[in-house]
Amino acid sequence: MTIDRHVDIADALEAYALGQLPPHESREVDEHLRECATCAQEVRELAAVLSGIGESVPPVAPSSALRQRVLAAVASSPTPVRWLVVAAEPVTSIDVTAADALCELDDSLRASGVRLCFAEMKSPVMEKLERFGLMSRFDDTTFFPTIDEAVSAFVATV
């Protein structure tokens, strides 16, 4: 195994310990852990920490109020809404529950004929969306580096 591949796998150990890797990546990490005592020890330590965190913090579901407010804003818009662009720069992470809520919002918006897009989303957040299998729903045409570019892309569709 190359050093670069070892580093790539070591970078994925948190997601592995959280069970967030797709099956093929999880199998690669499993194979690596059989050969690398250092990474295997790190996974054991991560699992212990995560277990303690999971037991100490009660689960909190995302507020349905956000979805309701977004849908109410779309419904009350004086002009038809075709795109909704989330300025995602402040978002630093996303968990499975938030990803589920995002899918529910997207389903509701799609049912209303509205396309959900994102501007200024950080790479680690996009990587988590990919790990959660959401990139088939939100493809490359859904993400924009800036709000201005998202607006320009929308204007080009009019």
pLDDT of 108 reads 94
How many Cβ atoms sit within 10 Å of the Cβ of residue 84? Answer: 19
Assess whether 119 and 93 both reside in one domain.
yes
SS3 137: coil
Assess whether 84 and 142 both reside in one domain.
yes
Assess whether 44 and 70 both reside in one domain.
no
Assess whether 25 and 80 both reside in one domain.
no
pLDDT of 118 reads 94
Q: Which letter does DSSP use for residue 84 in this model?
A: E
Distances (CA, A) of 37 to 9, 10, 45, 145: 13, 12, 12, 40
Distant-in-sequence, close-in-space partners of 84: CB < 8 Å, separation ≥ 6? 70, 74, 109, 114, 115, 116, 117
Assess whether 98 and 121 both reside in one domain.
yes
pTM for the complete prediction? 0.60
What domain count does the chain have? 2
pLDDT of 78 reads 94
Assess whether 102 and 139 both reside in one domain.
yes
> What burial letters (b/e) apply to 104-129, b meaning 16+ CB within 10 Å?
ebbebbeeeebbbbbbbbeeebbebb
Contact 17, 50 (CB under 8 A): yes
CATH of the domain at 92: 3.30.750.24
pLDDT of 91 reads 81
Range from 43-52, 71-80, 92-101 carrying the lowest mean pLDDT:
43-52
Range of the domain at 79: 64-157
